[in-house]
Amino acid sequence: MPGDETQPGAAQVPDEGEESVPFETADIYGAYPRLSDDQMARLEQQGRRRAVDAGDVLIREGEPCETFYVVLSGSVAIVEGYGTPDERLLRVHGPRRFIGELGLLNGQVAFYTAVVRDPGEVLSLSMDQLRDLVTRDSVLGDVVLRACLGRRALLVGQGAGFRIVGSRYSPDTRRLREFAARNRLPYRWIDLETDEEAEELLRRFGVGPEETPLVIWRDTTLLRNPSNAELARLMGLPSLPAGNHHGDLLIVGSGPAGLAAAVNAASEGLGTTVAEAMASGGQAATSSRIENLLGFPSGISGAELTERAVLQAQKFGARISVPAEAARLEPRDGHYAVGFADGSEITARTVVLATGARYRRLQVPGIERLEGTSVHYSATVYEAQQCRTDPVAVVGGGNSAGQAVLFLAGYAPQVYLLVRGPSLEAHMSRYLIDQVERHPRVSVLLHTEVTGALGDDVLEAVTVVDHGTGESRRLEVRALFVFTGAEPHTEWLSGTLALDARGFVLTGAEAQAGSVPELWQSQGRDCLTLETSLPGVFAAGDVRSGSVKRVASAVGEGAMSIHFVHRYLGHTAAPGGSDSSPQTRRKESAWLA
């Protein structure tokens, strides 16, 4: 095959009783499991055998994944850029392995082509057949899910997928890279300033540097500085329902609180839509490891937690749309209408607000022009990869700052943690403090505040002051990561709901106190615990005034909000005949129902 290559460690010695083929990719972190005799027998009861010849294409790059394939004999190659001069072999799978990754489960397009390498036979199942099977075989479902999550992580790490061509100094390049990274889309960034491939691509497509950033997909599709929504549609991310959709529940935001609400609502039969402005998972999705969440003794990355929660919500029929930025909320005929920035609208009987909060921008001289290039408000893999040779600084004293420090210390030679207070104990968990203080690449500077950022196109240094001694100094760092307090995403709710002085949503007794007395008298009841100043509109997680800013707390509030949604719906009869009863509605399964 053109472009054929082997990877280090690709040859695999089969276990006793297992079949293998030459150049088969080794099983990495459980991403390429070989199915057992019992699992193969169950699949063969549902699937259809099919003879295949060398060169037959099973899955084509850029097209939706709609069939689950298992190799019975022969081998299948996973190839990027199939049939182009840039063709690259990624994997080879032999007998008893299945083909597919995360896109298979969530309806995205394929980021690779699966082509038969050695003739043989495959087993094919529709996704409905697979769902039916794993309903009765949870072990097989776990094997498939774990492998698909691992394969997506490996694709992202390999730089497979589409390409973003743009300058490191361009805010739009930063926007597209952040959107791709936050949504865990495989892509490769080609730096306009330093990558020789950039000039060749510009010539090939006949565009100039001023037209960047570009998104190039399969050498056949070119988008000039696309919006996040345009990129999302190209990659198969789900959009908002067409028309003025009506349902039982609209959840605005898909962080831990929103996803927990979606899982609980959809599993109980409520018609549930989730609208997310940027990417599922919220701030939690950017965490490299969450170690204090119940049920994960060895910790779990925010990205994996998010993917599992998204698939779980989709499993029960929740529809999650990205990107969909809410712009207004208004009561309408016993329902609530939420309008979005793109002009679309969704109407629902109830609403759960779970838009979370974002880290407060650091207000110091010189920092604004560097935001989006070397001043960051999250610490994900693509930011960390730019810090392999230079020292960096992290501002903040909470758990998010601690997690970011430990993550970045795996890339950067030196990480400074700048904390205004006298110790880490006030806001950081003990387990993180111990790791931070022991790490050889981490220096903790207490009583320290950033006073300025130096550099024109990229950060060169920050100036800091030690409030204990009054001494000012210059720290030579090339990136600054800021985790200093939180601001809620509630600008669009001002004047509609009761908010506290900081903009967080009031709920329960505080919300009722901020409402006109006649409102709750007409309801014949008091405001429910997570209910806002509008009956039937609830708030959960970081956006709620008085909430505990922890993943576990957000998950708990999201789940609890659905209890109150049911109480509200039981108290309020559905007007008209357009809304079917939650108890009788058929669940729609997007994955493992």
SS3 424: coil
pLDDT of residue 538: 98
Tokens of 468: 């204990």
Residue 469 phi/psi, 5° resolution?
A: -110, -15
- 232, 109 in Cβ contact below 8 A? no
pTM flag (> 0.95): no
Contact by Cβ (8 Å): 18, 34: yes
Q: Is the pLDDT of residue 583 over 60?
A: no
Sign of the four-CA dihedral 175, 385, 406, 463: negative
pLDDT computed for residue 20 by the predictor:
59
End-to-end CA distance of the chain: 39
The vertex-249 CA angle with 247 and 254, nearest 5°, equals 125
Distance between CA atoms of 321 and 344, rounded to whole angstroms?
12
pLDDT of residue 497: 94
Q: Which of 437, 452, 445, 485 is nearest to 466 (CA)?
A: 445
Mean pLDDT of 364-372: 87
Please report the beta strands in 225-344, taking only residues with DSSP state E, as ranges in sequence order: 245-252, 272-275, 319-321, 326-332, 335-340
- State pLDDT tens for residues 212-235: 999 999 878 899 999 999 999 999
- 8 A C-beta contact, residue 245 and residue 238: no
Least confident of 279-288, 316-325, 346-355: 279-288
Residue 217, helix vs strand vs coil: strand
Convert the pLDDT of each residue in 185-206 to its tens digit.
999 999 998 888 999 899 989 9
For residue 30, the model assigns a pLDDT of 87
Beta bridge partners of 473: 464
Which is higher by pLDDT, 217 or 10? 217
How would DSSP label each residue in 41-85? HHHHHHSEEEEE-TT-EEE-TTSB--EEEEEEEEEEEEEESTTST
SS3 232: helix
* pLDDT (tens digit per residue) in 143-189: 998 899 889 988 988 889 999 999 988 889 989 988 998 898 999 99
62 vs 109: CA distance, rounded Å: 5
To the nearest whole percent, how much of the chain has pLDDT over 90?
Answer: 63
Most confident of 32-36, 384-388, 453-457, 516-520: 32-36
Q: Which tens digit of pLDDT belongs to each residue from 544-577? A: 999 988 899 999 999 999 999 999 999 765 443 3
Query: In the structure, how many helices (H) and strands (E) does the chain have?
Result: 15, 27
3-class SS letters over 467-512 = CCCCCEEEECCCEEEECCCEEECCHHHECCECECCCCCECCHHHHH
